[in-house]
């Protein structure tokens, strides 16, 4: 399709949004795009429909079929409501839980979703104000709901919002429910099909009791309450980065016994504009800068954070020189599983039926820790819905002790089925207290883990390619990597290629091809080298980017060599990325 044809198509589509079934604010915005000399916004807003994918919706807010607005949210909700009514028609009352984060329009979208569900005869438990994403997962299980919705775009920039849909187990949907929900959502082709007029009798606002129950259950995860008491004055800086962690994180740390939690006052302000950061992502040092400054000012031993919907964590620790170092997501996951396993060993609680879960792009050091302690380690696809799927399959037969992914997410409990910064940060602080009892800080614990189980270093790089042309470029990049894989990476020959698109694992030395055991396929490609390095390439399912995950192995002989080994590993990663053509 050439540009003239595309413009004609989007113009016809946009003009329908000038009809009386759309509100005045929307009509004004669409009219401005139609009248503008530059048609870029018009094309980007209408060249396709915002897709309800396997994780729900995520997109830039604004008018148009390819934007997050009350009509795309409405269609998603109506489709999900129709599917729920077909799946649970035998129940006298179907129910859902709804929560939202602090983003602009999040509260509006949550209330619209509540109205639509209730207009369809579905009971709604609407959480009263901005709440962490994991609390919605918890509410679904606690209140016996059949589904749930969280309005959030996680740690995306302020222009974005999103719609995460959950099933009755509190996890994001997988097959068949994700595919069937998409079919039902796609069947909503007109605004007239959406029931916007809510039934107030079916909407129940919940909050205080749910909060207390959730925090009480999280506190049962404590493995060393005596260490918490002994180190109750440990200085901990926490920042919610303007997000929903403000609701529960401080209360959780208080319940665990930590009495010296230091606020970053400017970032306690809940705002969808995220005024003190460029991006509200605890993975980025810039987002953690104010917390680090507060730690330097107060002499705090660690800085913890959560992203806007409080499912991801951030962590900064002091090294042996007293300097503050950002801990990456792989290390956070590794540290927490090491702590949980170690405390279980000390208490004699490992019976041989315990397991942990990590995603395929997460550090292999976790598997080495698990194997050494007779804990089964399962690999799954990226995303906590797949960790939850393993939990679902093993429920009642094995004991889950934790799971996580490199993207700063960890789950220690079974009463939630999504990553949870409230429990993870509480455990991080307890781990720091346990380490302090041994005269160590968390930085030194990390070095000890590497000494015991082998050193690895990881880095994730996201290449952003927005818009229609960007999406096409990402497709072309994946095609090229599959058809023309590198012979070497970082000077080491490739020994194995795993392609999760067809579940083929190819041994490059023998030429043997084996099928991998996964529940479905995924657009992920992995290269493994003779040196023990791993490279994973994955287009994002929710954002306009392609992600590269690099993990390298180096020999660490002495603790004193740790910093030098890190520097060597970083150079190794630079070389691999250069070999891949990634800048």
Six token digits for residue 246: 């403000």
What's phi and psi for 114, nearest 5 deg? -60, -45
> Taking the chain, what is the end-to-end CA distance rounded to the nearest angstrom?
31
CA distances, 282 to each of 81, 240, 296 (Å): 34, 9, 18
Six token digits for residue 103: 């983003």
Pairing of strands 236-239, 56-60: unpaired
| Rounded (10°) CA dihedral 420, 422, 424, 427 | -150
The CA distance from 459 to 386, in Å, is 22
The CA distance from 464 to 547, in Å, is 9
The CA distance from 327 to 446, in Å, is 10
CA atoms within 13 A on the CB side of 428: 35
What's phi and psi for 407, nearest 5 deg? -85, 40
Reference 313, options 209, 479, 431, 183; nearest CA is 431
Enumerate long-range contacts of 472-477, CB under 8 Å, 24 or more apart. 474/539, 474/544, 474/545, 474/546, 475/539, 477/546
Q: Give the per-residue pLDDT at 542.
A: 62
Q: What angle do CA 53, 306, 309 make, to 5 degrees?
A: 35
Q: What is the 3-state secondary structure (H, E, C) of 67-117?
A: CECHHHHHHHHHHHHHHHHHHCCCCCCCEEEEEECCCCCHHHHHHHHHHHH
Class of domain 48-206 (CATH, top level): alpha beta
H helical segments located in 220-354: 225-230, 249-255, 285-298, 329-346
The alpha carbons of the chain give a radius of gyration, in whole angstroms, of: 24
- Residue in this structure with the two tokens 């455990």, named with its chain if needed: 427
Domain coordinates in residue numbering, the chain: 48-206, 214-453, 455-580
CA distances, 456 to each of 53, 364, 365, 533 (Å): 34, 8, 7, 9
118-148 pLDDT, tens per residue? 999 999 999 999 999 999 999 999 999 999 9
- Residue in this structure with the two tokens 């269609």, named with its chain if needed: 75
Six token digits for residue 279: 């991006």
500-559 pLDDT, tens per residue? 999 999 999 999 999 999 999 999 999 999 999 999 999 986 678 999 999 999 999 999
| Rounded (10°) CA dihedral 147, 153, 154, 155 | 170
Dihedral class, residue 546 (left if φ above 0, else alpha if ψ from -120 to 50, else beta): beta
Task: Give me the active site residues, please.
Answer: 154
Helix, strand and coil in the chain, % to nearest 5: 40, 20, 35
In sequence order, the 6+-apart residues with CB closer than 8 A to the CB of 504 are: 498, 513, 514, 515, 516
Q: Give the per-residue pLDDT at 1.
A: 59
Six token digits for residue 269: 């302000």
The DSSP H or E segment spanning 303 is: strand 302-306
Distance of CA 187 to the CA centre of its chain: 28
User: Do the domains 48-206 and 214-453 sit in the same CATH topology, yes or no?
Assistant: yes
Sign of the Cα pseudo-torsion (58, 63, 66, 72, in order): positive
Q: Give the per-residue pLDDT at 222.
A: 98
Peptide bond into 176 cis (omega under 30): yes
Q: What is the third-level CATH fold of 455-580?
A: TATA-Binding Protein (3.30.310)
The CA distance from 128 to 185, in Å, is 27
DSSP state of 130: S
Class of domain 214-453 (CATH, top level): alpha beta
CB 450 within 8 A of CB 457: no
448-501 pLDDT, tens per residue? 999 999 999 999 999 998 887 888 899 999 999 999 999 999 999 999 999 999
Return the bridge partners of 513, or none. 506
| Rounded (10°) CA dihedral 197, 272, 459, 341 | -70
Cβ–Cβ contacts within 10 Å for residue 2, how many? 7
The CA distance from 22 to 64, in Å, is 11
Residue pLDDT tens, the chain, 583 long: 578 899 999 999 999 999 999 999 999 999 999 999 999 999 999 999 998 887 899 999 999 999 999 999 999 999 999 999 999 999 999 999 999 999 999 999 999 999 999 999 999 999 999 999 999 999 999 999 999 999 999 998 999 999 999 999 999 999 999 999 999 999 999 999 999 999 999 999 999 999 999 999 999 999 999 999 999 999 999 999 999 999 999 999 999 999 999 999 999 999 999 999 999 999 999 999 999 999 999 999 899 999 999 999 999 999 888 999 999 999 999 999 999 999 999 999 999 999 999 999 999 999 999 999 999 999 999 989 999 999 999 999 999 999 999 999 999 999 999 999 999 999 999 999 999 999 999 999 999 999 999 999 999 999 998 887 888 899 999 999 999 999 999 999 999 999 999 999 999 999 999 999 999 999 999 999 999 999 999 998 667 899 999 999 999 999 999 999 999 999 999 999 999 999 7
């Amino acid at each position: 399709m050439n540009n003239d044809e595309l413009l004609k198509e989007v113009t016809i589509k946009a003009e329908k949004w000038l009809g009386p079934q759309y509100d005045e604010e929307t009509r004004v915005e669409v009219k401005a795009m139609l009248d503008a000399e530059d048609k870029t916004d018009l094309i980007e807003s209408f060249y396709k429909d915002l897709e309800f994918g396997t994780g729900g919706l995520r997109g830039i807010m604004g008018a148009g079929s390819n934007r997050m607005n009350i009509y795309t949210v409405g269609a998603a909700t109506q489709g999900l409501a129709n599917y729920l009514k077909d799946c649970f028609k035998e129940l006298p009352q179907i129910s859902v839980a709804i929560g939202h984060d602090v983003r602009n329009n999040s509260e509006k979208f949550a209330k619209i979703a509540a109205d639509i569900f209730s207009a369809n005869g579905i009971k709604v438990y609407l959480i009263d104000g901005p709440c962490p994403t994991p609390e919605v997962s918890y509410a679904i299980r606690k209140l016996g709901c059949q589904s749930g919705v969280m309005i959030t775009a996680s740690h995306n920039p302020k222009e974005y919002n999103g719609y995460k849909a959950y099933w009755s187990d509190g996890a994001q949907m997988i097959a068949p429910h994700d595919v069937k929900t998409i079919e039902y959502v796609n069947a909503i082709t007109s605004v007239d099909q959406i029931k916007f007029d809510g039934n107030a009798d079916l909407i129940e606002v919940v909050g205080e009791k749910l909060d207390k129950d959730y925090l009480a259950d999280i506190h049962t995860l404590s493995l060393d309450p005596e260490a918490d008491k002994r180190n109750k004055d440990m200085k901990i800086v926490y920042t919610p980065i303007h997000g929903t962690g403000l609701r529960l994180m401080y209360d959780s740390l208080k319940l665990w016994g930590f009495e010296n939690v230091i606020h970053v006052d400017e970032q306690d302000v809940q705002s969808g504009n995220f005024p003190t950061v460029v991006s509200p992502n605890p993975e980025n040092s810039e987002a953690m800068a104010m917390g680090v400054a507060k730690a330097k000012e107060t002499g705090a031993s660690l800085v913890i954070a959560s992203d806007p919907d409080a499912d991801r964590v951030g962590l900064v620790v002091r090294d042996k020189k007293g300097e503050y170092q950002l801990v990456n997501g792989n290390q956070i996951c590794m540290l927490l599983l090491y702590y949980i396993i170690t405390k279980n060993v000390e208490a004699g609680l490992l019976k041989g039926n315990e397991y942990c879960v990590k995603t395929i792009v997460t550090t292999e050091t976790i598997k080495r820790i698990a194997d050494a302690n007779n804990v089964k380690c399962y690999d799954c696809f990226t995303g906590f819905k797949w960790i939850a799927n393993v939990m679902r399959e093993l429920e009642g037969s094995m004991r889950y002790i934790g799971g996580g992914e490199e993207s700063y997410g960890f789950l220690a409990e079974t009463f939630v089925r999504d990553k949870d910064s409230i429990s993870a940060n509480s455990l991080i602080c307890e781990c720091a207290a346990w380490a302090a009892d041994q005269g160590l800080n968390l930085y030194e614990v990390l070095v000890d883990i590497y000494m015991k189980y082998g050193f690895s270093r990881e880095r994730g790089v996201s290449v952003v390619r927005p818009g229609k042309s960007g999406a096409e470029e990402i497709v072309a990049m994946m095609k090229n990597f599959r058809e023309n894989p590198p012979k070497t990476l970082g000077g080491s020959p490739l020994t194995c290629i795993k392609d999760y698109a067809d579940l083929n694992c190819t041994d490059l030395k023998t030429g043997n091809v084996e099928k991998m055991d996964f529940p479905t396929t995924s657009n992920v490609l992995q290269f493994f080298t003779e040196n023990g390095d791993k490279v994973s390439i994955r287009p994002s399912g929710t954002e306009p980017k392609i992600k590269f995950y690099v993990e390298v192995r180096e020999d660490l002989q002495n603790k004193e060599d740790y910093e030098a080994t890190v520097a060597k590993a970083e150079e190794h990663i630079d070389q691999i990325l250069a070999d891949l053509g990634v800048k």
